[in-house]
Amino acid sequence: MNLEEVLKKLSATLLGDYYTLICPKCGKKEAFLYLDDLYKYKQDSTHKVAIRCNRLNKCGEITYLNDLLDFTEKKELNLPTPKSSIQINNRGIELIERFINYSLFSINCNYKDFDFDIRGISNETLKNNGIFYYSKKFESIVDSNLGKKCFSDKYRIKEYKNRNIFIPILNYENKVERILLRSKEQGEQKKKEIQLKLKDRSIEIWNIKALINKEKYVFITEGVYDALSIKDVDPNVDALSLPGVRKYKKLVKEIDKNIEKCKNKIFIIATDNYKAGHEYAKKLEMELKNRNLRVSILDLRQYKDVNDFLQKNRLSLILSIKKAKGK
C-alpha cells in the first residue's frame, strides 16, 4: 500500500503537525504520528516513522509506518503541507498573554471566586504555582468583541468554551507558551484536559524552571496535579510535570541544555504506578545516571499516582518523599 492507502485504512486525521489514527495493534483510534517524521523519512528511508498508541495502560505499543508501506512507494510520498494547530491571530495571542500575565503577576491568581482546593491540593499551593480559576470561563475571552476577530470557530466549541481552570505552561523567561484548560465541574467535557497552544513546538513541560531554580530536589511527575501534590506536602522541593511519560526525552534535552545547574540537583522520579510508567521511569533513570546525575525513585506503594497518594494517605506520602530524599 502507498501512504494514502495506509492512512485511509487507519482512518488518519491530520491535526496541525500530527495525525491521529487507529493503532495497528489494538485497533483503537487513539494513536498518533508526527508529520515531521514523514518528512524525515522522505529524505532518509532508514528513518523510523513511529505510530504511538496513547492507551498506555491497555496497549501503549509503538509500531512503525515503514512496515506498512510498499518498498516501491517509499521515495514517492505525497505529503500534505503541515498546518498550524494554532488558529489564533497575533492580536489574539497578545490578548491571551496579557490575560495570563495579569492573572499570574498582577493579582497572583487571587480571583474572588477562587477560594477552594482541588483534588486535595490547597488553594495556597495552587495560587503560588500559577494555577487559577476564572469563573467567566474561556468563552468570555473568545466571545469578547476582540476575541471574535482573533479566534477561529475551533475555540468556540463546548470542549474549549466551558473551561474555567487555567494551568499556564511558561518558558524560562516566564512567558506563556501554552495553557492546559480544565473545568471545576467534573464530567462536563469528553476530555478532562485540553491544550491551548500559543506557538508551534512550544514547551510542553510544566514548571521547566525547576531545572534552574535554587531547590536541590526536583521531582519528575506525569501530571501537573501530581507535581502540585508534591509541592503541597513539601514546599522546600521543586517538581515538574511531563506531558506524558513517553516524552521523557524532551526533559532529557532540557537537562542537557542546563547540565551544569542540574549537576547540583537530586532528581526523584515519580511517574504513574502502572506498566508503562515503570518502563519509562527506568529509561529516564538510565538517561540521568549516564549523565552522572543523582537520581532516585519515589515509592508510590499501592496508589496509582502521586495525587491519588495525596488524597488517600497524605501522611504516608510525606514519609515516602522523605525516604526518596534519603532522610
CB 289 within 8 Å of CB 295: yes
**Which CATH number do you get for residue 182?**
3.90.980
Domain around 149:
90-197
Residues 190 and 171 in one domain: yes
CB 177 within 8 Å of CB 203: yes
Number of domains in the chain: 3
- Compute how many other C-beta atoms are within 10 angstroms of the C-beta atom of residue 116: 10
What percent of the chain clears pLDDT 70, i.e. is strictly above it?
Answer: 95
Residue 168 has pLDDT above 90, yes or no: yes
Residues 191 and 266 in one domain: no
Model confidence, pTM: 0.82
CB 198 within 8 Å of CB 170: no
Domain assignment present for 202: no
Residues 230 and 271 in one domain: yes
Residues 231 and 274 in one domain: yes
Residues 232 and 313 in one domain: yes
Q: Indicate the average pLDDT of the chain.
A: 91
Please, which residues have CB within 8 angstroms of residue 139's CB and are 6 or more apart in sequence? 156, 160, 161, 162
**Which CATH number do you get for residue 271?**
3.40.1360.10
Grid cell at residue 198: 500559543
Domain assignment present for 84: no
Dist CA 233 CA 217 (whole Å)? 14
Residues 96 and 167 in one domain: yes
Quote the pLDDT of residue 124.
98
Dist CA 126 CA 212 (whole Å)? 21
Domain assignment present for 85: no
Dist CA 164 CA 106 (whole Å)? 19
Summarize the confidence of residues 122-138 as an average pLDDT: 97
Dist CA 204 CA 86 (whole Å)? 15
